[in-house]
Structure 1
Amino acid sequence: MVCCVTPTHTHLRDTDPDVAEAIAGEERRQENNLEMIASENHVSEAVMEAQGSVMTNKYAEGYPGERYYGGCEHMDTVENLAIDRAKQLFGAEHVNVQPHSGTQANMGVYFAMLDPGDKIMSLDLNHGGHLSHGHHVNFSGQLYEVEQYGVDPETGYIDYDEVAEQAAEFGPDIIVSGSSAYPREFEWDRLSAIADDVDAHHLADIAHITGLVAAGIHSSPVGSADFVTGSTHKTIRAGRGGMIMTTDEHADAVDKAIFPGGQGGPLMHNIAGKAVGFGEALESDFVDYAEQVVSNAKTLADVFTDAGIQPVSGGTDKHLLLLDLRESHPDLTGEEAEDALDDVGITVNKNTVPGETRSPFVTSGIRVGTPALTTRGFDDDAMATVGELIVERLNNPDDADVASEIRDEVDRLCAEFPVYE
C-alpha cells in the first residue's frame, strides 16, 4: 500500500487532521485502485500546485483588462495564458475559460441565446446524453421545451436522417450534440447542416473528448458548430472546470451570460490550473497520450467482445465503452457490477443503456473509460489484462476466491504503474 500524505500537507495535518486524513485516504485509493470512470483522470503535480496556490485568495470579477477590482494584473496574465493556449489548441476565435463546469458552460450558451420556453433538441440521457442537455431534473429541462433524439436500437449509432426529420417537425432553437456515454464520433458538419435547415444554432458539447479533439485524434466541431463547450479535465487533464468556444459574433453575448449573468468572481486558482494543463496539452507527447487513450479503449472492446459482452454500438471511437449487460449477464445489474468491481479495486460507474428499463440508480449497464489508466502508463497489453480481470469479476461476482486473486493482480498493476512517482 502506498502512503501519500505529502510534506505540503503539514499545516493541514496540524490544523484539521480529519480533513488531512480524508485527503490522504483518497490519495491512497487513487494509487491503489484502477480508475476507469470515463470522466476522471489524474492531473500533473504542476496542475495541482497551480490549483493550490495563492490565486485562490484573489477576486477578479470581470475579464482581463476589464476587472471590477484592483490588483488583478497577475490574474490577467494567467487568464490570458489559458485563453491563448486554448485558442492555439482548438483554433477557436473566442474562448471563455471562466465557467466552473461543463454544465455551467452549457448554461452560459443557453442564457446567451435562448429565452425561457425556447426549444432544445438533444441526445437522450439513456442513449448517452447529459443532464445539462435538457433532462427534466436539470435546469435545462425546467426552463426550456426539450425534445430528444436517440440511437438506432439495432446499431447503437445515431441515425442522422431521423434527426433531420425530427428537427424539421420540432423546430428547435438549439440542437445540442455531444454526450457522456455515446461511444462513437459525432458528425458535426451534418448536425450543423441540420441546424441551419431549421434556423437553429448548433451547440457541440465536447466535455468528454476535449483532450482528444485538442490532440487531433477526434474530429473537431470548432468552425462548424456555433458554440463548443467542454470540460477542462477529463481527457485534457487541466484544472477542473469548463470552457466555451465560439465566434467573435457571439463573444459578447456569451461573456455576459457567464459574468455577470451566471457567475460572480471566477476561480482564479482553477483558471491557473487550466492554463497549466492547456500548456501541457500543447506538448508533442500529449498526442501520443491521446492516441493511446483510444487504442486502449479499442483493446478493451476486443476483450469484452471476445468474452461475449457486447459494447453498445459494437465498440468505440474514443475513450469510453458502454457495456449493456442484459444479454451476457441478465441477472447482474449495473449497480451490482459497479459494486463487485469496486470490491476488487476497479472503479467504474453504473450507466443506463439504450432501451433502459431499470432505474438510473440501478441500471442495466456500466461505463468504462481509459483516460486515467493511460495517464498511469497502461499500454494495450496492460489494458488487455485489465479487461480480462473485469470479465472474470463480472462472471464471478460472488466468488471470494476469485475476488482475492483479482485484487492481488490489481495491486501488482498499481505498483507497476504508479500515479505519482
Structure 2
Amino acid sequence: MTAAKKAQGPVLTTRALNRATLERQLLLRRHTMKPADAVAHLLGLQAQNVKPPYYALAARLDGFEPEEFSALMASRELVRIVTMRSTIHTHTADDALALRGLVQPARTRELNMFRKGLAGVDLDQLVVRAKELVEERPRTLKEIREALLERWPDADPQALGIAARCSLPLVQVTPRGLWRQSGQVSLTTLTHWLGRDDGQEAVPDETVLRYLAAFGPASVKDFQTWAGLTRMREVFERLRPGLLTFRDEHGVELFDLPDAPRPDADTPAPARLLPEFDNLLLSHADRTRVVPPEYKGRTWLGNFAWSVFLVDGFLAGVWKLAEDKESSTITFETFGKLTKAQRTELDAEAVRLLEGPLGTGLPYDIRYEKVVGA
C-alpha cells in the first residue's frame, strides 16, 4: 500500500484526539508515577519560570510532593536547560544529555540570526572562552557577556551572550528551580554540573516514538513544532511500517503507536489547573485538540502567558494565584459560562492545590471572574 493510500486512514475527531492526548499527558487521571519517571515520560517540562514544573506535576500525579521534586533538582538528577523551541525545560539528566544534541540544529539557526553582531568574532574561540568562564564558577548571562566583551569589544553584547547560549549546553544551577527558594539564573555547562559526559545523543527515530507516546497521535508538523526542528518527514516515513495512521477532521495525516491508548471520545475528562507554558499547549502545530478556535491567543500577551484551566478536557479560561503572608487567593477568569458541576470540579482542584503540599497552609479564597469580551 502506498503512503498516499495510508493517509486515507480512519478519522479521529477533535474530541477523540483530545482524550488520547490527555491520556498520554497523564491528565485523564492522576498517576502514582515517580516524579522523575513522569518527567522522562513527558520528555521534559516547560520551565521558563520556577513554579510551573511543580504545578504541572501536581495536576498529573497523585500524592505529588514538591520537596521530592526539589530534592531531585538539588541532587542533579533533574536539570534546567534550553532544549526544545529554545526554551528552558526541566529534564532528567540523561535526557538533558541526549536531547540537547538533537535540537542543536535549531540553536544553530537561532545563532545565525545574530551573525551581524558577531562580525570579527571567532566562534570556536568564543566557545572555549565561555566554557572556561562558566566552569571556573557558575556565572550569570550578564557576567558572561561582559567577560566576552573584554575579548571582543566591537561585538554586540547581546549577540555574544546568544552565541554562548546556543553553542554550549548551559544549565541553570541550583538554588534556581528549588521549591520556595530564590536564586538568580547562574549557568555552567551540563557536563560540568553532572560530572559526567556518558550520555548518548538522542536518535531521531527513538525520539519520534517517545513523542508519540507522550503527545500522539500527531502529524509530522506537530513533532517539528515540539522539537523546533525541520525536515523530519523522512524519519516518519522510515517509521511508517511500524506505526498506525489516522486523519484529523481536516484530513491531516496523524501517526501513532499501535499499542498507545486512544480512549473513547466520550471518556470523562476532569477539570485541571495547568501552569503557564504547559507542555499540553505548546507541543502541536494544530492546538485545536485542546484549544477551541474561538479561544486561540487568549492566554498570551506578548511573551507573557497565564496559567490555564481545562474543563471537559479543553481550555476554558485562565487562573491566577496570589499569595502573601496572611492568605492565598485563586481567581478563575472564565472564557464562557460554566455549569454548576464544572465550577464544583474547579473548586475541588483549587482546594487540592491550596490545602495540599503546594499551598501555604494559610486561609484562602476562591473567586470567579468572567474575562471581558468572553
Q: TM-score range by the shorter chain?
A: under 0.3
Name the TM-score, length of structure 2 as normaliser.
Answer: 0.23
TM-score by length of 1: 0.21
